[in-house]
Structure formats: structure tokens, C-alpha cells
Amino acid sequence: MATYKTNKFSKCPSCGFNLYNRGNNMGREMSEMLRARKQSTRKKINKIATIINDLIPSQNRTEYWKFLIAIKSISDGNVIHGIESYYQGGHVNKGKGFPYLRTIIQTIGKDSEAIRELERRRIGGVPPIIKIEERQ
């Protein structure tokens, strides 16, 4: 029989959250994950985190930490694109916090090539340059 501290389900496989080791290294890990990003990405993440924390009371430091853990392997361009689409969609005003933003960024990270191709088909590409020869 598993004891309280040795439960094999204490760590989440997708986000890395450890149920029995909460908050010990959370602040240090968050600052390390943010320092690994470019400064422009860091500013966007901090800005949207401040907005979410101010407007949605249920979003706390643990949710922010889970969000940073989940997006640490996604490129800065995809993170910025996800934050901008979250902000422009007004999802923060609908009460959707870090888990929703995390899902947007992860989807963009996994499907970025397919999304780019579908946007190119929907919007269209740059028309080809045609040189017109003068008739004499």
C-alpha cells in the first residue's frame, strides 16, 4: 500500500506539478524560465500575467508556474503569437485564465506549420511579379 508521500500519482506528467512539493522552488524556477526567454517575450508574458492576475481572482502563483512549465519548450515567436491572439480575442474578459492561454500557445506550437499553410490558403500569398515587355 502506498503511503501519503510515496503516491506514484503525485507528479503531473504534462505540466510537472508535484502535489507534495509545492512552492519550495517555485519562485526560483519561474525566474529561471523567464530569464531563458528574450526580453521582448518576457515583457509580453509579464504584461499578460499581470492582467490575468488582476482581473481573474482564481488565477494565482501556482497557475502561473504551471503555465510557465507548460510553455518552456515552445519558441518565443509562437508564445508571442499566442499571447496576442489571446489578448485580441478578449478571452481575459470572459474569465479564461492561464490554462486557456497555455492551450492556445501549445496548439500554436504543435500546429504552427499547418496553421501557416491554412492561413496562406485562406488569405492568399503574394502575387507573382510579372514583367511586361513593351511592344515595338
Rounded to whole angstroms, how far apart are CA atoms 45 and 37? 10
Q: Report pLDDT for 20.
A: 63
Q: Tell the residue number behind the cell numbers 525566474, with chain if given.
A: 31
Which of 79, 15, 14 is closest to 47 using CA atoms?
A: 79
3-state DSSP call for residue 18? strand
pTM across the whole model: 0.69
Instruction: For the chain, 136 residues long, give each residue's pLDDT as a single digit of tens.
Output: 444 455 556 677 666 666 666 556 778 888 888 889 999 999 999 999 999 999 988 888 888 988 999 998 898 999 999 999 998 999 989 989 999 999 999 998 888 788 778 888 888 777 778 888 877 7
Residue 3: what pLDDT? 46
